[in-house]
Amino acid sequence: MISNLLSKKLKKYIAITFIVFISSLSLFNVKAFAVGEPTWNYTWGFAKGYSLAVKSRYWQYGTMDWTSAISATQSEYSASPANASIRVSSSNNYNDCKIRLKSAEWTQYSWWGITDEATDVSGAYTVDLNSYTVSKSFSSSSLEWYKKKITVHEVGHAFGFNHATSPDYVMCQGYINVNYLTSYENQMLVDRYGRYN
Ligand SMILES: [Zn+2]
């Protein structure tokens, strides 16, 4: 009788321990899967406001046309639940634009895109899209896919994203798995800029 009772208690104990063990494993796994997510650079980005629509302008110097990638990037940020979007204008007013997108052929470098913060008081970011390196890196079938990835990624820097190390985030460098803002990145944007409504 006592041994039966003990054995029941032991079974219960073992069962509970097992559940706790499995739960801690899955917790551990969740953490492990989240490794490599992007982080914020709080010295970059824009002030949180009621209507954060960042004016952008695209200048094309060279043969590669980035217009469709930029248009897809504008749609990507517009579709985000966050109050963070870009409006690509055809205006020539340089000072008006908070993100200045420019494509050219920088043959001496090995990068696809780079974003710099303006040193003047404009608070603007300059995104350079390296047509030469990009044209050398991809077959025509993946070229448009990567042009969008590069543009979404660089605009992400302007909004303040640091790099991710997991290729499952658009903020990861190099050859990666997504060319759009993931739900994780969208949630980060919502946390920082608020929800669009
Ligand atoms: Zn980057």
Please give the distance, rounded to the nearest whole angstrom, from the Cα atom of residue 185 to the centre of ligand 1. Answer: 14
Please give the distance, rounded to the nearest whole angstrom, from the Cα atom of residue 150 to the centre of ligand 1. Answer: 8
Please give the distance, rounded to the nearest whole angstrom, from the Cα atom of residue 111 to the centre of ligand 1. Answer: 10
pLDDT digits (tens, 9 = 90+) for 82-96: 999 999 988 777 778
Long-range Cβ pairs for the range 189-192 (8 Å, 24+)? 189/80, 189/82, 189/84, 189/159, 190/80, 190/81, 190/82, 190/83, 192/40, 192/45, 192/48, 192/82, 192/84, 192/159, 192/160
Please give the distance, rounded to the nearest whole angstrom, from the Cα atom of residue 151 to the centre of ligand 1. Answer: 10
pLDDT digits (tens, 9 = 90+) for 163-182: 999 999 999 999 999 999 99
* pLDDT band at 52; cut points 50, 70, 90: confident
Please give the distance, rounded to the nearest whole angstrom, from the Cα atom of residue 125 to the centre of ligand 1. Answer: 13
pLDDT digits (tens, 9 = 90+) for 4-50: 544 555 444 444 444 443 444 444 444 445 689 999 999 999 988 76
* 160 pLDDT higher than 80: yes
Please give the distance, rounded to the nearest whole angstrom, from the Cα atom of residue 122 to the centre of ligand 1. Answer: 22
